[in-house]
Amino acid sequence: MSHQVKTIKWIIWCLAVAFYFYEFIARVLPSVMIEQLMIALVATAETIGFVSGIYFYAYSPMQIPVGVLFDRFGPRKILIFASLVCGFGVLFFGLSTHVWEAAIGRLFTGLGSAFAFVGMVYITSQWFRGERLALLIGIANAIAMIGAAGGEGPISVVEEVIGWRTTVISLGIIGFILAYLFYWILKKAPHGLHEHTKTVPSFIESFKSFKCVVKDRFIWINGIGSLFFYATTSGFAALWGVSFLQHTHQMNRNQASFANSMIYIGWLVGGPLIGYFSDLVKKRKPFLLIFSFLGFLVMVPLIYVPHLSKSIVIFLLFGIGFFSSAQLLNFSFAIERHKAEETGSAVAFTNFLVTLGGAIFQPLVGFLLDLSWTGTVKDDIREYSFSDFQMAVTIFPLSFLLSFAFTLFLKEEIEVV
Task: Tell me the pLDDT tens digit for each residue of 391-405.
Answer: 999 999 999 999 999
Over the stretch 109-135, which tens digit does the pLDDT of each residue have? 999 999 998 888 778 777 775 446 656
Q: What's the rounded Cα separation, in Å, for the pair 356 and 349?
A: 11
Q: What's the rounded Cα separation, in Å, for the pair 37 and 35?
A: 5
Higher pLDDT, 332 or 227: 227
| pLDDT for residue 291 is more than 70 | yes
| pLDDT for residue 183 is more than 50 | yes
Q: What burial letters (b/e) apply to 93-123, b meaning 16+ CB within 10 Å?
A: bbebeebeebbbbbbbbbbbbbbbbbbbbbb
Whether the domain at 1-200 and the domain at 201-417 fall into the same CATH topology: yes
State the DSSP code for 382. Answer: E
Weakest mean pLDDT among 43-52, 210-219, 296-305, 403-412: 210-219
CATH class of 1-200: mainly alpha
Identify each DSSP E strand in 276-367 by its residue range.
none
* SS3 state at 338: coil
What pLDDT does residue 199 have?
Answer: 59
What pLDDT does residue 195 have?
Answer: 45
Give residue limits of the domains in the chain. Answer: 1-200, 201-417
The count of other CB atoms within 10 Å of the CB of residue 376 is: 10
Q: What's the rounded Cα separation, in Å, for the pair 104 and 118?
A: 23
Q: What's the rounded Cα separation, in Å, for the pair 242 and 240?
A: 6
Would the pTM of this model clear 0.95, i.e. be above it? no
CA distances for 74 relative to 19, 67, 165, 357, 373, angstroms: 16, 10, 35, 29, 50
Rounded to 10 deg, the angle between the 3-28 and 131-162 helix axes is 50
In this structure, are residues 40 and 98 in contact, taking their beta carbons and an 8 Å threshold? no
CA distances for 142 relative to 179, 213, 300, 301, angstroms: 23, 29, 27, 27
Surface-to-core class of residue 260, CB atoms within 10 Å of its CB (0-12 exposed, 13-18 middle, 19+ buried) = buried
Instruction: Give the per-residue SS3 of 40-57.
Output: HCCCCHHHHHHHHHHHHH
In this structure, are residues 175 and 18 in contact, taking their beta carbons and an 8 Å threshold? no
* CATH superfamily label, 201-417: MFS general substrate transporter like domains (1.20.1250.20)
- The kind and range of the H/E element at 200 are none
Q: How far is C-alpha 165 from the geometric centre of its chain's CA atoms?
A: 23
What pLDDT does residue 141 have?
Answer: 79
Q: What's the rounded Cα separation, in Å, for the pair 182 and 188?
A: 11
Q: What's the rounded Cα separation, in Å, for the pair 245 and 310?
A: 10
The whole-chain average pLDDT of the chain stands at 86
Over the stretch 304-350, which tens digit does the pLDDT of each residue have? 998 899 999 999 999 999 999 999 888 888 878 877 667 767 877 88
Surface-to-core class of residue 417, CB atoms within 10 Å of its CB (0-12 exposed, 13-18 middle, 19+ buried) = middle
